[in-house]
Every structure is written in structure tokens, then in C-alpha cells.
């Protein structure tokens, strides 16, 4: 088994002398180029599509973002849509498994203690389990998706007929599990705003795909709450807390907005707030009109989009644990304490440092993009531009209406931000995961950030 790991590491390190994140970036660029070329083929689209839009859609699909400069449902043929679906599945699952792989492989490079923590984080009996891990990830993901497709089909086949009902179920399940947010309806899921089945299935997929594979393994292996790693506990609690808070705030902010929740019945209001509270981190589906939301809702969603989902998940953003670590560190400073303590475990300085670094670098990328877009998109309001840029960074895909009239330069910038949003934090995690100078203290808890 150790031999197998060495072989796989040799494969990754030697032929190109590239580091894993560089290989990932290279594979990703190839995926985008292949996708764009396929989407540009005459059989892929019903309306004509420019090269820049083909690249934009390919980038958006591969990074599982969901921002679209053209309406996928009416622009592409079935073939084009399947290309998009393929890009989503490969981009989403591919990065997720690569991230899980990197987390384990790091165990070989760094200290014994950290390796133990990595193993603990994954609850893997040995490092030889790399291949098995990726296999499990795929098996698990496909199983989840098949179950969800079955349930959604039961809902949609009676409405749309057998083939269309199943096809729409397949498309939206893959899109939701990978947190891609692509929809075949140009107005998203607005027509199902009050539908319990659609709401529950989609949000369940979003959360499962977005919580991170290490957490899912941990949940599978552990028998009690106490057996879970700190990372899993933090992810589960913070996912719960942030979702509840977001749902309440969306409900409060939009309750009287006649263009969103205001026009809905009491039950629909709850479902809409439920859905739009969960979706911005980082699924990007919408069941209300995003161009009509209030400024405070827009600001809330901007924060949620920036925070994002879990490490080693299909989601983006700085990651929820990164946010939690920063939040607790700030509270620690304010209270005048020395050590950041989360769930009775001390968070090492190296982890805090990494969280702060990932956040700062992400902020800088967002800021540079904002700068270019405010310069280029002169007629558009700052809020709408900010929303679009953070949506791209968090690979969310929600838009307050800017995407269709992005200028050429803006499209290129948004594409770059989407790619950074997908690969940047992971690359930083890789390069920051093994700090050279670090005081070893006990007892410490491992929390993944980035």
C-alpha cells in the first residue's frame, strides 16, 4: 500500500516536475479549452455564440459557478447542455477529489504529528487508502445523485413526461450536488419557490456536496458525536448556524418586498427564505428574482458568497471553517485572551495565520477585479458589480443582472476570478499547510481552512 502511494506521488511529481496544484491548474485549463471548443461546435448551440461566451460558459461550468452571459436553456442544444453537465461533473467532483487527495498527500510531507492529525481528520486507517478514498468519493457521490434523481423524477415526470422529466432531474441534481447552480430555466427555480420536494432535494444536495468530503467520510465512520474530528464538528455546527441565521435574515429583509417574498403566501415565504438562505454559499440557485432583492439582502448574500462552503467540497469561497477561525480569533482578541479556542480545542497559530492569509489574498483578488469592473462598467451600480465579482470568487453564480451585459474585459476578469475562486484557496491550502516554523503544543485541534 505504501508502494502504491509512492507510485502515485511519483506520477504526480516526476514526469512534469510540477506540483499538484500546478497539475490541477493545467488539467483545469485543458478542461475549459475542450469545453469551449465543444460548445462552439455547430451541433452544440441553437443560437450563435461567440468564442468569448463559449469560453465564459465553459469556465463557469468547469468552476461550477453558474454565472451565464447567455441563457443556457435556450442557447444550447441537448448536446451543448450535456457538455455543460460533463464540465460540471468533472470540474466539481474532480476538484473535490483532488482536494481530498492533496489533504492526504500532505500527510507524507509534513511532521508526524500533523500527519496523525490529517489521518484523524480523514479517519483513514493508513495513508495507503488514497486510491480507495477517491473511489469511495465517486461511489458515494454517484449514489447520492442517483437517489436524488429518483426522487426528483417522481416529482417532475408527471409534469413534463418521462424523458424530459428524467433529463431535467439529472441536470439539476448534478448541478446542485456540484454546487454549480446551472439551471435549464432562464429564471432559475422561481417556478418551484413553494414546492417542498424541489426545495428539500436541491438543498439536501447543496449541503451534502458543500460540507466537504472529509466530513462525509468522518460521519460515515464515526459512531458517536464525540468520535468526530474537530473539523467535522465545526463544519456541522457552523453550517447549521449560518444557514439558520441566513434564512432568518432573508425572511426579515425581504418580507415586505413586493417583488420577492412580499407577493408570496405564508408558506411560500418560508420556503423562499429557506432556499435563498442556503443557496448563496455556494450553490447559486435562485427561487426568487435576484435583480429585485433589497440592498441589505444583497450585502448579506455577498458575505455568504465570500464565506462559501466546506474545504474539500464542491463549493467555493474562503471556506466556512476559515471564516469560523477568523471569527473566533477576532473574538479572542476582543476578549483579551491569548489563544483561539473552538469547541474546547486550541487552534494553532499556523492555522489562524493560514485562514487570515487566504482571506486577505481573496480580498485582494476581489478588490482588483472590482477596480477593473467599476472602471469598465461605468453605467452599472457598485452593488451589482460587487455582487457579480464576489459571486464569481465564491463560484456561486447568483447575479443581480450584470452577467448578460458584461463588457469583453469584464468577462475575462470574471473568468479569471472564477478560476481563482475554484483553485486559489486550494493552492494556498497546499502551500501553507506545512508551516516551517511552528510551536508544537498540546492539545491541539486540526481545522482545515481554504
Nearer to a second copy, 80 or 277 (CB): 277
Which among K ion, a second copy, none contacts residue 258 (Cβ within 5 to 8 A by kind)?
A: none
Query: Site mask, a second copy, residues 227-256, x = CB under 8 A?
Result: --------------------------x---
State the Cα–Cα distance between residues 318 and 327, nearest whole angstrom: 13
Number of residues that bind a second copy (CB under 8 A): 41
First to last CA, the chain: 29
Which among K ion, a second copy, none contacts residue 333 (Cβ within 5 to 8 A by kind)?
A: a second copy
**Is residue 103 a contact point for a second copy (CB under 8 A)?**
no
- One of 44, 96, 300, 447 touching a second copy (CB under 8 A): 300
Which among a second copy, K ion, none contacts residue 12 (Cβ within 5 to 8 A by kind)?
A: none
Min dist. Cβ of residue 6 to a second copy (A) = 24
Contact 68, 392 (CB under 8 A): no
Per CB under 5 A, which region of 145-153, 179-187, 212-220, 340-348 contacts K ion?
Answer: 179-187
* Binding to K ion in span 385-404, by CB under 5 A: 396-397
**Is residue 424 a contact point for K ion (CB under 5 A)?**
no
Which among a second copy, K ion, none contacts residue 284 (Cβ within 5 to 8 A by kind)?
A: K ion
Which among K ion, a second copy, none contacts residue 66 (Cβ within 5 to 8 A by kind)?
A: K ion
Min dist. Cβ of residue 363 to a second copy (A) = 8
Nearer to a second copy, 176 or 370 (CB): 370
Which among a second copy, K ion, none contacts residue 223 (Cβ within 5 to 8 A by kind)?
A: none
State the Cα–Cα distance between residues 85 and 58, nearest whole angstrom: 10
* Binding to K ion in span 91-110, by CB under 5 A: none
17: buried, middle or exposed (CB in 10 Å: 19+, 13-18, 0-12)?
Answer: exposed
State the Cα–Cα distance between residues 367 and 429, nearest whole angstrom: 21
Listed in sequence order, the residues at least 6 apart from 359 whose beta carbon sits closer than 8 Å to its beta carbon are: 318, 322, 326
- One of 359, 391, 403, 449 touching a second copy (CB under 8 A): 359
- One of 223, 226, 344, 378 touching a second copy (CB under 8 A): 378
Which among K ion, a second copy, none contacts residue 439 (Cβ within 5 to 8 A by kind)?
A: a second copy
Contact 358, 322 (CB under 8 A): yes
- One of 284, 308, 310, 425 touching K ion (CB under 5 A): 284
C-alpha cell, 217: 467520510
State the Cα–Cα distance between residues 155 and 195, nearest whole angstrom: 10
* Binding to a second copy in span 310-339, by CB under 8 A: 326, 329-330, 333-334, 336, 338
- One of 20, 107, 165, 181 touching K ion (CB under 5 A): 181
Nearer to K ion, 36 or 396 (CB): 396
Which among a second copy, K ion, none contacts residue 181 (Cβ within 5 to 8 A by kind)?
A: K ion
- Which residues form the interface with K ion (CB under 5 A)? 66, 179, 181, 284, 396-397
Positions that interact with a second copy (CB under 8 A): 253, 294-296, 298-300, 303, 326, 329-330, 333-334, 336, 338, 349, 352-353, 356-357, 359-361, 363-364, 367, 370-371, 374-375, 378, 381-383, 386, 428, 431-432, 436-437, 439
Amino acid at each position: 500500500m505504501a508502494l502504491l502511494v509512492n507510485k502515485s506521488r511519483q506520477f504526480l511529481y516526476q514526469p512534469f516536475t510540477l506540483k499538484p496544484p500546478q497539475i490541477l491548474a493545467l488539467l483545469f485549463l485543458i478542461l475549459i479549452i475542450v469545453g469551449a471548443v465543444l460548445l462552439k461546435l455547430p451541433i452544440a448551440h441553437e443560437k450563435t455564440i461567440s468564442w468569448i461566451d463559449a469560453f465564459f460558459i465553459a469556465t463557469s461550468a468547469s468552476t461550477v459557478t453558474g454565472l451565464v452571459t447567455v441563457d443556457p436553456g435556450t442557447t444550447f442544444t441537448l448536446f451543448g447542455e450535456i457538455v455543460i453537465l460533463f464540465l460540471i461533473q468533472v470540474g466539481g467532483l474532480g476538484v473535490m477529489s483532488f482536494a481530498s487527495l492533496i489533504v492526504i498527500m500532505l500527510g507524507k510531507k509534513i511532521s508526524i504529528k500533523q500527519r496523525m492529525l490529517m489521518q484523524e481528520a480523514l479517519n483513514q486507517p493508513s495513508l495507503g487508502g488514497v486510491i480507495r478514498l477517491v473511489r469511495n468519493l465517486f461511489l458515494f457521490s454517484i449514489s447520492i445523485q442517483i437517489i436524488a434523481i429518483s426522487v426528483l423524477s417522481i416529482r417532475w415526470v408527471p409534469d413534463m413526461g418521462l424523458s424530459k422529466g428524467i433529463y431535467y432531474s439529472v441536470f439539476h441534481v448534478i448541478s446542485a450536488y456540484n454546487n454549480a447552480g446551472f439551471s435549464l430555466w432562464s429564471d432559475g427555480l422561481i417556478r418551484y419557490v413553494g414546492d417542498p420536494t424541489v426545495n428539500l432535494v436541491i438543498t439536501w444536495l447543496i449541503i451534502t456536496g458543500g460540507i466537504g468530503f472529509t466530513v462525509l467520510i468522518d460521519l460515515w465512520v464515526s459512531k458517536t458525536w464525540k468520535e468526530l474530528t474537530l473539523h467535522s464538528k465545526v463544519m456541522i455546527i457552523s453550517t447549521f448556524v449560518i444557514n439558520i441565521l441566513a434564512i432568518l435574515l432573508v425572511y426579515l429583509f425581504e418580507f415586505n418586498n413586493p417583488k420577492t417574498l412580499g407577493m408570496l403566501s405564508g408558506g411560500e415565504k418560508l420556503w423562499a427564505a429557506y432556499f435563498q438562505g442556503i443557496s448563496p454559499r455556494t450553490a447559486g440557485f435562485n427561487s426568487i428574482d435576484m435583480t429585485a432583492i433589497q440592498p441589505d439582502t444583497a450585502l448579506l448574500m455577498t458575505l455568504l458568497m465570500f464565506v462559501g462552503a466546506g474545504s474539500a467540497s464542491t463549493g467555493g469561497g474562503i471556506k466556512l471553517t476559515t471564516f469560523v477561525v477568523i471569527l473566533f480569533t477576532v473574538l479572542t482578541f476582543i476578549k483579551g485572551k491569548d489563544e483561539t479556542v473552538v469547541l474546547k480545542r486550541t487552534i494553532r497559530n499556523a492555522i489562524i495565520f493560514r485562514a487570515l492569509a487566504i482571506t486577505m489574498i481573496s480580498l485582494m483578488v476581489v478588490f482588483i477585479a472590482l477596480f477593473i469592473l467599476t472602471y469598465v462598467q461605468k453605467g452599472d451600480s457598485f452593488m451589482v458589480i460587487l455582487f457579480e465579482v464576489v459571486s464569481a470568487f465564491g463560484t456561486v453564480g447568483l447575479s443581480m443582472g450584470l452577467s448578460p451585459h458584461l463588457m469583453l474585459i469584464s468577462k475575462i476578469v470574471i473568468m479569471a476570478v472564477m478560476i481563482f475562486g475554484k483553485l486559489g484557496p486550494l493552492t494556498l491550502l497546499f502551500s501553507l499547510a506545512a508551516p516551517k516554523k511552528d510551536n508544537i503544543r498540546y492539545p491541539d485541534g486540526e481545522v482545515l481552512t481554504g
